[in-house]
A and B are shown apart, each in its own frame.
Chain A
Amino acid sequence: MTMLSSAPSSSAPPAGFSDPVQQSQASFRALLDAMARPGRIASIAGDIGRPDGVTQALAAAALTLCDLDTPVWLGPGFDTPALKNWLRFHTGAPVVAQAGAAQFALLNAGQPLPNLENFAQGSDEAPEKGATLLIQVATLQGKTAMQWRGPGIKDGVAMPPCGLPMAFWQQRAALSAAFPRGLDLYLCCSTDLIGLPRSTAITFATEA
């Protein structure tokens, strides 16, 4: 019996939403607002359980968006038994080995990021099959480096690189030629997140 109680299947994984109905709805609202207003910070409050090393905003987004029908890919640093177990317990989402098979990816910008080309971009007939990336970053602040323009942004908004390397932003810019195919991103830091849909065009400060 000691063997049983030590088995992972008989002990509870870390908690998720403490109030699943209210919190998932509030988080969904925040995620919608963030994607509708690219560049504007949305916050997710409340008591949300999560594995070590995962921030509240990314955890809330994963718990809200992932389910049985959404294959998830875990990037370097997040591909841990604890995170897999937590995600599977709370969402039932299958964790896939191939980035290209995922509908959602959980990425940690503190680790080497995979090339954005590796993710599903959707097709012209079904652009909604493009993946959504939840990226945990160290900061959403910093020196202005670019201008975001597009639907949901009045005029334009000056943005910092949000803790992401220039190579990342260049890959993102290269993909935008394939619109409506592409990737939608959430940049998550602590309890805050920023939405970056594929419809947002970015010009870099040096080009301006």
Chain B
Amino acid sequence: MTAALSPDDPAITARQRRLAILARTDATALQQAWDGLAEKPRYRHLKVPETGLVMVRARAGGVGQRFNLGEMTVTRCVVAVEAAGRELMGVGYVQGRDARKAELVALFDALALDPAHAPKIEADLIVPAQKLLAEKRQKRAEKVAATKVDFFTLVRGEG
């Protein structure tokens, strides 16, 4: 599918970054952030949360011909949020079957498009979540690095 917009658009790359972090954020952290909003915006569903599948594609040898590896469960939700007298569309696609999480991701996706909400969402939700993900990743990488092995090749006898 061709992108409707230039993928280099900074607004799109910013939104892609947010969505990637939100999709990996714990559902309870998202709920807490929502509960912490001073004023909840009015919103309606353009698509109610629904669970479906994404076919995961791979390449032979990692780089060659494409093939279908298998599917994964995904839940999506699309909302229209009222902000500053207009409606902003927010989209949530999350791995697994958590309907509320997909809805919260969609809500924060939309709210982050509103200049009145964007800085707070970035500071209170996105940045801490990104930090947590990086820490988790780093911790794992350190444990894995400790299993790095140097095999010694012993010279076999002649003949």
Contacts and interface: CB of A to CB of B under 8 A. Distances in A.
A10 B5 contact: no
Contact of B89 (A3, A10, A15): A10
A126 interface: no
Interface in B1-36: 1, 4-5, 9, 11-12
B28 to A, nearest CB: 27
A11 interface: yes
B47 to A, nearest CB: 8
Interface of A: 1, 3-5, 7-12, 15, 20, 85, 88, 94
Nearest to A8: B4
A85 B4 CA distance: 9
B113 A1 contact: yes
Nearest to B91: A9
Contacts of A5: 86, 88, 113
A12 B4 CA distance: 14
Given A5-B113, A10-B89, A10-B113, 19 more contacts: A1-B115, A5-B86, A7-B5, A7-B9, A7-B11, A8-B4, A8-B5, A9-B4, A9-B5, A9-B89, A10-B110, A11-B88, A12-B46, A12-B80, A12-B87, A12-B89, A20-B48, A85-B4, A94-B1
Given A10-B88, A10-B113, A12-B87, A3 B46 contact: no
15 contacts: A1-B114, A1-B118, A4-B11, A7-B5, A8-B4, A8-B5, A9-B4, A9-B12, A10-B89, A10-B110, A11-B88, A12-B46, A15-B46, A20-B48, A88-B1
Instruction: Report which residue of A1, A5, A20, A85 has the largest number of chain B beta carbons within 10 angstroms of its beta carbon.
Output: A5
Interface in B79-111: 80, 86-89, 110
Given A1-B113, A3-B11, A4-B113, A11 B4 contact: no
B6 to A, nearest CB: 11
A161 to B, nearest CB: 38
Contacts of A94: 1
Contacts of B118: 1
